[in-house]
Amino acid sequence: MPSQRDIRRRITASRNIRQITRAMQFVAASKLRRAQESTLAARPYSDLLDEILADLASVLGGDEHPLLSRRDEGKRLIVLITSDRGLAGALNTNAVRFVSNEIIEHTGELELVSIGRKGRDAMRRAQVPIVAHFAGLGDRPSLADILPLARLIADEYEACTYNQVDVVFTRFISTLVQRADMVQLLPIKPSLDTRGIPGSQFIFEPAPDKVLNELLPRYLATRLFQAALESTASFFSSQMVAMKNATDNADELIEDLTLSYNKARQANITRELIEIASGAQAR
């Protein structure tokens, strides 16, 4: 049985850990609110831009712009967005597992661009070719942070290096639910509007091809920016829940250790009383 000194040391260490995890929980909760507001505010713009581009893609052919062309030759590029930091439960693990399953299920040449240290390290261990790495986007990602990656993707796709570009990120569903997801960036998939006729939802002026040339760079940057916002909100949400669970576990451990300490203390007191009584009787 551990001594009273050992139990006191474990209680002190548990209290220190509880203090740290509780502080991290409150910090993550405060940052989550701002990240959640930014994510929800950006969704309507991103969805509408995606709808417009899909409508344009249904009107124009692949010859109108290189980013619309579909090709059989070339590699596949996956953009993996994770965090630089851990202590967020299974958030990064789920995103890495999602990419790993995608690689296993769909054979063929593939390369990867990583955003965040956790995803890069995991893909390196799996020996997946990483062509570029971008440091984590921080607590408040901005569109300017995404523009270099968007330009890289556009240039490589126009150079026929890749035949498909996907982005894998963690979609923010709610405070308790975050789900790894994948969105195809290029080539743009034409979609049907509510009337079921592709290309009849919008009227483009001066011409669809000119509108397309203006919107495509913004489309790539916006979709990547939205994925970064979703991942950031998911990270703080997952970290807040993980730190709350850690704090609750520390409270339970402190209670168990306190009970063990009291039992050990009571046993020592009882033993000392017995020794005193035995000594008195011996006299």
Partners of 33 in beta bridges = none
Which of helix, strand or coil describes residue 84? coil
Q: What is the mean pLDDT of residues 237-265?
A: 92
Partners of 109 in beta bridges = none
Q: What is the mean pLDDT of residues 134-147?
A: 84
109 vs 165: CA distance, rounded Å = 12
Residue 62 or 83, more confident: 83
Please tell me what DSSP assigns to residue 66: G
Question: Does position 262 have pLDDT exceeding 80, yes or no?
Answer: yes
pLDDT at 62: 55
Least confident segment among 78-82, 135-139, 198-202, 249-253:
198-202
pLDDT at 196: 47
Q: What is the mean pLDDT of residues 18-32?
A: 93
203 vs 243: CA distance, rounded Å = 50
Order of strands, sheet of 162-172, starting from the edge strand that comes earlier in the sequence: 130-134, 110-115, 75-81, 162-172, 178-186
Q: With contact defined as beta carbons under 8 Å apart, do 182 and 226 qualify?
A: no
Mean pLDDT of the chain: 85
**What is the pTM assigned to this prediction?**
0.82
The confidence band for 268, taking pLDDT boundaries of 50, 70 and 90, is: confident
**CA-to-CA separations, 160 to 15, 133, 184, 205, 223, in angstroms, rounded:** 58, 21, 17, 30, 21
Q: Domain map of the chain by residue range? A: 21-241
Q: With contact defined as beta carbons under 8 Å apart, do 178 and 90 qualify?
A: no
pLDDT at 93: 93
Q: How many CB atoms are closer than 10 A to CB 106?
A: 10
Which of helix, strand or coil describes residue 74? coil
Question: Taking each helix axis from N to C terminus, what angle separates 143-158 and 208-282, rounded to the nearest 10 degrees?
Answer: 120
11 vs 125: CA distance, rounded Å = 38
User: pLDDT, tens digit, for every residue of 26-81?
Assistant: 999 999 999 999 999 998 988 888 777 777 766 665 566 677 777 777 789 999 99
- 21-241 topology per CATH: Pyruvate Kinase; Chain: A, domain 1 (3.40.1380)
User: pLDDT, tens digit, for every residue of 186-224?
Assistant: 887 655 544 444 445 566 667 667 777 777 778 888 989
Question: Does position 179 have pLDDT exceeding 60, yes or no?
Answer: yes
Q: With contact defined as beta carbons under 8 Å apart, do 162 and 76 qualify?
A: yes
